[in-house]
């Protein structure tokens, strides 16, 4: 009806601009007022055509959220998103839709516990099923395991409404499972499999749809897949760009209100403005089966129109290209926007397209604006940088420059030190260990599962890293290839030796001296840097200390936390779970007072975003322990990098030094 009406408008005399129409005329048409979202039932439309993110479903599978869709309607996909997918109350496990000979659970178990989930009983015992092929092994195991009982550690109330800690925990658990699945050669489907596992086991939060802010999610938070946003309730559609709820006013039919939109990053002109956004409505794109058509005022488009009239805030997520991936995207939560106007205009296809202008609500911290500013810094488009003291404090030691910036006060820089990129030993240093063999015999690059490789054997048969940059799991010790290994420089078991992966900046903080942050987004598990400095024994350090604030001491007591994947979520035997307790051959003390790198500027936090992991690699014919830092969770650009300094074994501080007791904490996290 909208198409025929607009055709009539075109035929009218005196229309000055055929490419623009008075929206008030369209909205005054009575039938348009009564439009509301129409969701086809299972008997409508043609049969299901597979639409998972990784291609059509295999034989024996049925569509299901979040990787399925409703049957195709008369609308073609819109300009910003694909077909609409309604959220379900429960998501079946990814592999529960196979052949009738296998069984799957009906849904996640209810739990009121507060601890991380662990399976109950013997539901995880691995038993061979002769009726199901053994390859791929993980698929078979997932089908069998979900018949057991799993304690997610998340109560029913917490699934409805989350908080900062719960959101962080859910995302950490998801990415831990994704990394493990990627490690065991399921890289292409790791995200989908991890999502199916967590959702079917109730590991999610903020399932209650709402208008406005979402508990536990802060402006500027970043996500590396849409499913992450779905797991924590920011945007419940894994494919569609417009999410909405229906509300019922007094004496009126239910009408939709927009809750969030995902802008895919295909903007023109003004849409790059960090304070406003031009968003195209859904529908109208041509596909392989039909011509392009006019967009209709229904579903997401109708929800945006109703939100314009009501004036409610809409969450906006901006999609940007992932600089570390050729095909990946990063999604930035840019806060609440209001819709200021809408109109209809001709698209490139010649058909009518709805357009919406959204304006950012004032007073919110910058998010997408930081991305645009950093891009200008990298491209040299914003000069001079405010507060820039030195463009590179490493003087070329690192492959990437590290800026020194102070836009807080007049201090010109930290105390003098010599920049080095690794450890400096003041005397002969030997680590006593049972296995003194050094170097592997691999040619090219070490391969996972190759037990002929001594480095792979020491790492339990796996490469400890994903894609040569990301730590899969914490473990007592990581063994890297060293200088005597014949494998090439691109070996994926050489990570900490390759230097900084991100563009860093040392900056002046308000109350913690100098700090460290990254211009680039950092994905959970990514290597950040090692702690470089002089290796010293405790007695020498005590004599030379003189208020040395740059000491890393492995003997200190650190807050424990769970970071590794849960074996039950990838159908592994819980008895094979990797220990997260470190096993160092001897305590290690590193002073970065006189010699050090960017790690010396990382401040303490009781809620850190960086963890440390001991790594052994061979140097000068001897195995040497290094301290490497990795991201605990996703870290947005310009967020300060922090780790837990720990507390010494001495119960009380004698002189305030790092070697005794606990120093005063200024992290501001609210935790002690």
Task: State pLDDT tens for residues 490-542.
Answer: 899 999 988 999 999 999 999 999 999 999 999 999 999 999 999 987 766 66
Share of the chain above pLDDT 90, in %: 49
Helix residue spans in 343-392 (DSSP H): 368-379
Angle value at C-alpha 633, between 506 and 668, nearest 5 degrees: 60
pLDDT tens per residue, range 405-459: 999 999 999 999 999 999 998 654 544 444 454 678 888 889 888 888 989 999 9
Mean pLDDT over all residues of the chain?
A: 77
Higher-scoring residue by pLDDT: 605, 148 = 605
pLDDT, position 144? 43
Confidence grade of residue 395 (pLDDT, cut at 50, 70, 90): very high
Lowest mean pLDDT among 26-30, 285-289, 552-556, 592-596: 26-30
Residue 100 has pLDDT above 60, yes or no: no
> Does the pLDDT of residue 299 top 50, yes or no?
yes
330 pLDDT tier (thresholds 50, 70, 90): very high
Report the distance separating Cα 595 and Cα 424, nearest Å. 8
- Determine if the peptide bond prior to 136 is cis (ω within 30°): yes
User: Can you tell me the mean pLDDT for 100-117?
Assistant: 37
Mean pLDDT check: name the lowest of 114-118, 290-294, 586-590.
Answer: 114-118
Q: Quick check: 515 and 640 in contact, CB under 8 A?
A: yes
19 lies in the same domain as 29: yes
Looking at the fold, whether 439 and 297 belong to one and the same domain comes out as no
Same domain, 470 and 550: yes
Show the beta-strand stretches assigned E in 460-539.
Answer: 465-466, 470-471, 478-479, 504-508, 514-518, 527-530, 534-536
- What is the β-pairing status of strands 504-508 and 514-518? antiparallel
Instruction: Give the end of a domain, one of 348, 363, 383.
Output: 383
Flag whether 129 is in a domain.
no
**Which comes out higher in pLDDT, residue 325 or 559?**
559
- The answer to whether the bond into 67 is cis (omega within 30° of 0) is no
Arithmetic mean of pLDDT, 131-138: 35
Residue of 210, 255, 186, 271 whose CA lies nearest to 466: 186
Shared domain check, 405 and 259: no
Minimal CA–CA distance to 166: which of 103, 101, 232?
A: 232
> Which of 333, 348, 383 is the C-terminal boundary of a domain?
383
**Residues constituting the chain:** 672
Q: Write out 399-467 in H/E/C secondary structure.
A: CCCEEEECCCCCCCCCCCCEECCCCEECCCCCCCCCCCCCCCCCCCCCCCCCCCCHHHHHCCCCCCEEC
The answer to whether the beta carbons of residues 481 and 493 sit under 8 Å apart is yes
Cβ–Cβ under 8 Å, residues 625 and 476 = no
Find which of 315-324, 366-375, 629-638 is predicted with most confidence, using mean pLDDT. 629-638
In a domain, 660, yes or no: no
Write out pLDDT tens, residues 571-582: 888 888 889 999
Identify the domain boundary among 383, 417, 449: 383
Whether residue 323 has pLDDT greater than 50: yes
Predicted pLDDT of residue 140: 34
The CATH number of whichever domain residue 11 belongs to comes to 2.30.280.10
| 222 lies in the same domain as 343 | yes
pLDDT band at 286 (very low <50, low <70, confident <90, very high): low
- Top-confidence residue, 267 or 349: 349
Cα distance between residue 449 and residue 173, in whole Å: 25
The answer to whether residue 165 is domain-embedded is: no
Q: Are 606 and 508 part of one and the same domain?
A: yes
Whether residue 513 is contained in a domain is answered as: yes
**Residue 8 burial by Cβ neighbours in a 10 Å radius (0-12, 13-18, 19+):** exposed
What pLDDT is attached to residue 128?
41
Distance from the Cα of residue 444 to its chain's centroid? 31
409, 363: one domain: no
Q: Report yes or no: 234 and 317 within 8 Å, Cβ to Cβ.
A: yes
Gap between the Cα atoms of 124 and 133, Å rounded: 19
- Domain span at 369: 1-52+61-69+209-383
Whether residue 377 sits in one domain with residue 400 = no
Give the percent of the chain with pLDDT over 70: 68
DSSP calls for 326-345: SS-EEEEEEEEEEEEEEEEE
Residue 377 and residue 510 in one domain: no
Per the domain annotation, does 183 fall within a domain?
Answer: no
Higher confidence at residue 69 or residue 479?
Answer: 479
**592-646 confidence digits (pLDDT tens):** 999 999 999 999 999 999 999 999 998 777 889 999 999 999 999 999 999 999 9
pLDDT (0 to 100) of residue 169: 97
Please determine, for residue 483, whether its predicted confidence score (pLDDT) is greater than 80: yes
Residues 142-150: what's their mean pLDDT? 52
Task: Decide if 74 is inside a domain.
Answer: no
Residues 41-56 pLDDT 10s: 444 444 434 344 444 4
Residue 91 belongs to a domain: no
My answer on whether 302 and 388 are in the same domain is no
CATH number of domain containing 457:
2.170.270.10
- Could you tell me if residue 194 is inside a domain? no
Buried b (16+ CB within 10 A) or exposed e, 463-489: bbbbbbbbbbbbbebbbbbbeebebee
User: What pLDDT score does 600 carry?
Assistant: 97
* Contacts of residue 397, Cβ cutoff 8 Å, sequence gap at least 6: 419, 420, 421, 597
Based on the fold, state whether residues 406 and 308 are members of the same structural domain: no
Q: Which whole number is the average pLDDT over 309-334?
A: 92
Number of domains observed in the structure of the chain: 2
* Least confident window among 116-120, 282-286, 420-424, 645-649: 116-120
In the predicted model, is pLDDT for residue 480 greater than 90? yes
Shared domain for 511 and 547, answered yes or no, is: yes
Which of the pair, 470 or 326, is modelled with greater confidence?
470
Say what the pLDDT of residue 325 is. 82
């Amino acid at each position: 009806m909208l198409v025929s009406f607009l055709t009539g408008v075109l035929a009218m005399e005196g229309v000055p601009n055929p490419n623009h129409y008075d929206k008030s005329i369209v909205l005054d048409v009575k039938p348009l007022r009564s439009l509301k979202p129409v969701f086809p039932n299972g008997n409508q439309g043609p049969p299901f055509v597979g639409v998972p993110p990784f291609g059509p479903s295999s034989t024996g599978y049925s569509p299901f959220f979040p990787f399925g869709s409703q049957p195709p309607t008369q609308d073609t996909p819109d300009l910003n998103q694909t077909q609409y997918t309604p959220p379900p109350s429960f998501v079946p496990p990814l592999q529960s839709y196979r052949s009738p000979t296998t069984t799957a659970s009906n849904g996640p178990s209810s739990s009121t516990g507060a601890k991380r989930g662990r399976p109950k009983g013997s539901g995880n015992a691995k038993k061979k099923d002769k009726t199901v092929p053994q390859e791929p092994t993980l698929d078979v195991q997932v089908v069998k395991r979900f018949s057991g009982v799993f304690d997610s550690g998340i109560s029913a109330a917490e699934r409805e409404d989350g908080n900062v800690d719960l959101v962080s925990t859910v995302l950490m658990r998801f990415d831990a499972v994704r990394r493990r699945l990627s490690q065991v050669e399921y890289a292409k489907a790791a995200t989908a499999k991890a999502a199916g596992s967590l959702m079917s086991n109730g590991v999610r939060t903020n399932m209650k749809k709402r208008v406005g802010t979402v508990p536990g999610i802060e402006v500027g938070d970043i996500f590396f897949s849409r499913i992450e946003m779905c797991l924590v309730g920011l945007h419940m559609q894994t494919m569609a760009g417009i999410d909405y709820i229906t509300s019922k006013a007094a004496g009126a039919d239910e009408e939709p209100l927009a809750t969030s939109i995902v802008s895919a990053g295909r903007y023109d002109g003004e849409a790059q403005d960090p304070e406003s956004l031009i968003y195209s409505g859904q529908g109208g794109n041509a596909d392989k089966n039909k011509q392009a058509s006019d967009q209709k005022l229904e579903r997401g488009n109708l929800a945006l129109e109703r939100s314009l009239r009501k004036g409610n805030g809409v969450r906006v997520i901006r999609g940007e290209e992932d600089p570390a991936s050729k095909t990946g995207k990063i999604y930035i939560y840019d806060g609440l926007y209001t819709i200021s106007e809408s109109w209809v205009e001709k698209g490139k296809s010649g058909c009518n397209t709805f357009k919406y202008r959204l304006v950012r609500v004032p007073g919110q911290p910058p998010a997408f604006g930081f991305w645009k500013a950093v891009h200008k810094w990298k491209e040299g488009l914003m000069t001079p940088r405010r507060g820039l003291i030195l463009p590179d404090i490493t003087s070329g030691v690192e492959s990437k420059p590290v800026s020194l910036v102070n836009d807080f006060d007049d201090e010109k820089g930290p105390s003098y030190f010599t920049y080095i990129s690794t450890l400096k030993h003041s005397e002969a240093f030997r680590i006593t260990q049972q296995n003194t063999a050094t170097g592997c015999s691999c040619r090219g690059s070490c391969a996972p599962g190759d037990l002929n490789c001594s480095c792979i054997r020491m790492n339990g048969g796996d490469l400890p890293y994903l894609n040569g940059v990301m730590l899969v799991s914490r473990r007592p010790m990581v063994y890297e290839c060293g200088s005597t290994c014949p494998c090439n420089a691109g070996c994926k078991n050489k990570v900490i030796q390759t230097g900084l992966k991100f563009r860093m900046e040392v900056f002046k903080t308000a109350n913690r001296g100098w700090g460290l942050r990254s211009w680039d987004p950092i994905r959970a598990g990514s290597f950040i840097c090692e702690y470089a400095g002089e290796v010293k024994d405790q007695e020498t350090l005590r004599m030379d200390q003189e208020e040395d604030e740059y000491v890393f001491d492995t003997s200190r007591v650190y807050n424990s936390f769970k970071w590794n994947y849960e074996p039950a979520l990838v159908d592994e035997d819980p008895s094979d779970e990797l220990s997260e307790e470190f096993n160092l051959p001897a305590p290690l003390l590193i002073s970065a007072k006189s010699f050090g790198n960017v790690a010396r500027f990382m401040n303490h936090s009781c809620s850190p975003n960086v963890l440390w992991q001991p790594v052994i690699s061979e140097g000068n014919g001897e195995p040497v322990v290094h301290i490497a830092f990795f991201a605990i969770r996703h870290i947005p650009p310009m967020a300060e990098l922090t780790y837990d300094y720990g507390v010494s074994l001495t119960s009380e501080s004698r002189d305030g030094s790092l070697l005794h007791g606990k120093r005063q904490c200024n992290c501001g996290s609210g935790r002690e």
